């Protein structure tokens, strides 16, 4: 990717905003070094990770905690004779704390719902020995603890005893000899690493001892009395021993870190990568960005795209649609000055750069771009002053440099190409450039005022013309595009609005030919019709959105009503089982009533319309963690993984997984609820498992599954079951036990016993 294009599109400013979302110094530096991917497979992987990070941030507010920069520490570990200081060891401990928190948090949610994030740490070992040693040897503020070694504990105990002895000696002397009026303070202080008294300077000759220092005012001298000298000397020796023992502890921890250097480096690289990933997710939240699709059909469609820097700068931004029809690879934007043509070009280029860097783009879902591995930009505002070149010469020289590299995976952005010379020759040159770029099957977009280039755009099927719109009444720009038409430049109108004297404007009109005036009136009419059409389309889109919202509300009402009815059926079924257990109803009658309830549940589970036909879905249509119907097995399952290279998806049928083509699946409108609602069959009750494993589930999903599991366990006659929720952060365990505490059919529950006595399992006794 050409660095000049990156700078012209102001992409480094986007990276600066991105770096502010990072929590670490190395993460911030990595954000600033991001560049577009040239490998489509790698880009797809990074986009999947970004989507998972966005979901994790949105649903769990999960993100990495602060961790320090460890580059200096790794340099020290490279040298066998060097020992880490306490600050470096504390930084290492803080880093491992952050890594442990992030890994454990992801471990709880990632296995089932974030497969991409799970793969990022697979194969990275954990330095358990170093982790435990740091936890034992370092305190909360990074200090070396007494428990680090028996020798260090012993010498520190002696130091504490000596300090107490010094304090006792001073108190005895103060009580035996009247020294209080000689002293500024009645307590010990430290000067030159020795215990001293704060003596009034005018009494310094009255007592025997050594003066070590004076206060800034000179009114106080720090005096070591004769009776403390022996204790201070012993204390000095013990402090030297303490430093040596602390050095031994640091050497021991440094040795452990040195042996774990490769593991630490891999973990550090992973944490920096996660920091950058969550910075991208934070940027997505700030700009309301989406993960832009890379179109396999080479489709350019940016829906309601906003210029990222305008959004980040807090400026009001009017979204714009930048779209080319199938078979079109050229875009010509015309219309008046200050209408937003250059902003549209920069929005296109910047959105493409961000998408190719796996960054979120401020555009609506469903937007897509082709896979461009090169982007070349030429801006009319770019002057060649440094090379003493005119605007036209600078444009030609720049275009000539990147011309040999243009191919079918190139986007070329030309702002006012051909200006600065004779208009007719400049227009001809611009048309020739368009011809040759399109012949190379590259993509090209330009803004122009040349009438010839406007006509050129209207005459070619592989080029699309569009115009920036102006309000028909106020003549102010609307910053929207109207497609398949061209616009007038409105130079005189803009000049008047910018304050050019009226007599100059009138004189200019005299020089205009009559046909030019007619042309202006024609363009005014075209602009008025286009603006009217855009307003009507906006009203239609608004009405469609309103109707969709009404339909969604009605659908939600139906779902809630269905859920309520199914809950009532379940309660009725539980009541029937209780009557049978208490001998208030016979077995045959209970089974008959349960069969009737099952038929009602099955009828509720069926929704009008069933499923979509198999063969309608493409690879991009199929979404992870969504339920689809597989006609081959006549079952619905959840998609757990996707393989873009093989064009296959992995669908899970309650523990049995199968790789299938997306075209073999259909959308199951009943989803998982439809399957579970009719699940009170004899076979399902008799095969009810003894344990339910909820690890790796969302809390809402886990609670729903727990409710269904307990209902079936009660109906099957079980008296005891086990719920596996794991330890993790403890949130899932608390939710499970709170639910059990409120359930009427739970006799009691307790942490798992026997081999499961690790508080990651709860044993439940049923009534």
Q: Residues 700-756: pLDDT tens digits?
A: 778 888 888 887 777 666 788 888 887 777 788 888 888 888 887 788 888 875 444
Q: Which of 737, 739, 729, 689 is nearest to 712 (CA)?
A: 689
Mind giving me the DSSP string for 658-726?
Answer: EEE-GGG-EEBSSHHHHHHHT---HHHHHT--SEEE-TT--HHHHHHHHHHHHHHHHHTT-SEEEEE--
Residue 317 is encoded by which pair of tokens? Answer: 């931004």
What pLDDT, in 10s, does the model give residues 125-176? 899 999 999 999 998 888 999 989 999 999 989 888 888 887 777 776 666 6
Whole-angstrom distance, CA of residue 329 vs CA of residue 316: 30
Q: What's the pLDDT band for 685 if we cut at 50, 70, 90?
A: very low
Domains contained in the chain, CATH given = 3-127+260-287 (1.10.1420.10), 148-253 (1.10.1420.10), 293-512 (3.40.50.300), 563-677 (no CATH), 686-766 (3.30.1370.110)
Q: What's the pLDDT band for 542 if we cut at 50, 70, 90?
A: confident
**Per-residue pLDDT, 676:** 38
Q: What's the pLDDT band for 684 if we cut at 50, 70, 90?
A: very low
Mean pLDDT value across residues 655-668: 77
- Cβ contact 188:197 at 8 Å: yes
Whole-angstrom distance, CA of residue 108 vs CA of residue 513: 75
Mean pLDDT value across residues 581-606: 61
Strand partners, 214: 221
What pLDDT, in 10s, does the model give residues 284-321? 999 999 999 888 888 899 999 999 999 998 888 889 99
- Cβ contact 716:710 at 8 Å: no
pTM, entire model: 0.63
Q: Which of 520-529, 530-539, 554-563 has the highest mean pLDDT?
A: 554-563
**Per-residue pLDDT, 117:** 85
Q: What's the pLDDT band for 505 if we cut at 50, 70, 90?
A: low
**Per-residue pLDDT, 598:** 60
What pLDDT, in 10s, does the model give residues 376-400? 998 866 544 444 456 778 888 888 8
- Cβ contact 762:736 at 8 Å: yes
**Per-residue pLDDT, 547:** 82
Q: What's the pLDDT band for 609 if we cut at 50, 70, 90?
A: very low
Residue 633 is encoded by which pair of tokens? Answer: 């097995």
Q: What's the pLDDT band for 610 if we cut at 50, 70, 90?
A: very low
């Amino acid at each position: 990717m050409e660095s000049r294009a990156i700078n012209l599109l102001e992409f480094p400013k986007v990276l600066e905003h991105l770096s502010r979302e990072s929590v670490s110094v190395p993460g911030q530096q990595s954000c600033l070094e991001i560049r577009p991917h040239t490998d489509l497979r790698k880009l797809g992987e990074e986009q999947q990770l970004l989507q998972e990070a966005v979901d994790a941030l949105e649903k769990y507010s999960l993100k990495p905690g602060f961790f320090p920069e460890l580059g200096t520490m790794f340099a020290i570990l490279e040298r066998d004779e060097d020992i880490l200081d306490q600050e470096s060891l504390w930084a290492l401990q803080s880093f491992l704390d952050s890594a442990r928190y992030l890994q454990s948090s992801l471990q709880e949610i990632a296995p089932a719902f974030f497969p991409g994030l799970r793969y990022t740490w697979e194969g990275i070992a954990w330095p358990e020995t170093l982790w435990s040693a740091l936890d034992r040897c370092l305190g909360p503020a990074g200090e070396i603890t007494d428990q680090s070694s028996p020798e260090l504990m012993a010498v520190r105990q002696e130091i504490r005893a000596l300090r107490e002895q010094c304090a006792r000696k001073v108190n005895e002397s103060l009580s035996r000899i009247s020294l209080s009026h000689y002293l500024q303070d009645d307590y010990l202080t430290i000067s030159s690493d020795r215990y001293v008294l704060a003596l009034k300077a005018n009494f310094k000759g009255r007592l025997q001892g050594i003066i070590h220092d004076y206060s800034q005012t000179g009114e106080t001298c720090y005096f070591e009395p004769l009776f403390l000298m022996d204790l201070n000397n012993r204390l000095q020796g013990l402090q030297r021993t303490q430093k040596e023992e602390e050095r031994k502890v640091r050497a021991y921890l440094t040795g452990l870190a040195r042996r774990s250097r490769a593991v630490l480096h891999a973990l550090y690289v992973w944490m920096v990568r996660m920091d950058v990933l969550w910075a991208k997710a934070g940027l997505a939240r700030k700009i309301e960005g989406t993960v832009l699709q890379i179109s396999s059909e080479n489709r350019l469609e940016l829906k309601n795209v906003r210029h990222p820097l305008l959004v980040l700068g807090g400026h009001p931004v009017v979204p714009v649609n930048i779209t080319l029809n199938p078979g079109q690879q050229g875009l010509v934007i015309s219309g008046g000055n200050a209408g937003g043509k250059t902003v549209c070009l920069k929005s296109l280029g910047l959105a493409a750069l961000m998408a190719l860097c796996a960054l979120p783009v401020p555009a609506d879902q469903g937007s897509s771009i082709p896979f461009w591995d090169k982007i070349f930009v030429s801006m009319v505002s770019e002057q060649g002053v440094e090379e003493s070149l005119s605007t036209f010469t600078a444009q030609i020289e720049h275009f000539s440099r990147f011309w040999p590299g243009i191919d079918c995976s190139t986007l070329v952005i030309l702002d006012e190409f051909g200006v600065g010379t004779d208009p007719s020759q400049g227009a001809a040159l611009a048309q020739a450039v368009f011809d040759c770029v399109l012949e190379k099957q590259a993509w090209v977009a330009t803004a122009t005022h040349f009438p010839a280039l406007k006509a050129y755009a209207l005459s070619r099927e592989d080029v699309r013309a569009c115009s920036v719109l102006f309000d028909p009444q106020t003549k102010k720009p609307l910053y929207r595009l109207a497609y398949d038409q061209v616009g007038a430049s409105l130079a005189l109108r803009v000049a008047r609005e910018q304050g050019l004297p009226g007599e100059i404007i009138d004189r200019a009109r005299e020089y205009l030919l009559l046909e030019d005036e007619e042309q202006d009136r024609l363009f005014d009419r075209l602009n008025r019709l286009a603006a009217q059409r855009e307003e009507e389309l906006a009203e239609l889109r608004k009405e469609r959105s309103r109707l969709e919202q009404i339909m969604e509300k009605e659908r939600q009402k139906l779902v809630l009503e269905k859920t309520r009815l199914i809950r009532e059926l379940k309660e009725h079924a539980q009541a029937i089982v209780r009557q049978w257990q208490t001998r208030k109803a016979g077995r045959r009658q209970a089974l008959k009533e349960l069969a009737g309830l099952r038929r009602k549940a099955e009828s509720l589970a069926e929704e009008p319309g069933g499923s979509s036909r198999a063969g309608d879905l493409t690879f991009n249509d199929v979404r992870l963690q969504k339920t689809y119907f597989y006609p081959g097995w006549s079952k619905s399952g959840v998609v757990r993984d996707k393989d873009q290279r093989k064009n296959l998806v992995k669908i899970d049928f309650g523990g049995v997984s199968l790789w299938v083509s997306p075209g073999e699946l259909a959308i199951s409108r009943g989803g998982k609820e439809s399957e579970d609602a009719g699940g009170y069959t004899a076979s399902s009750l008799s095969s009810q498992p003894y344990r339910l494993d909820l690890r790796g589930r969302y809390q809402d999903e886990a609670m729903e599954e727990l409710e269904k599991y307990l209902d079936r366990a009660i109906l099957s006659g079980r008296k005891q079951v086990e719920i596996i929720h794991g330890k993790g952060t403890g949130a899932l365990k608390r939710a499970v036990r709170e639910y059990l505490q409120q359930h009427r059919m739970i006799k009691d529950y307790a942490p798992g016993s026997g081999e499961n006595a690790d508080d990651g399992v709860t044993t439940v006794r049923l009534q």
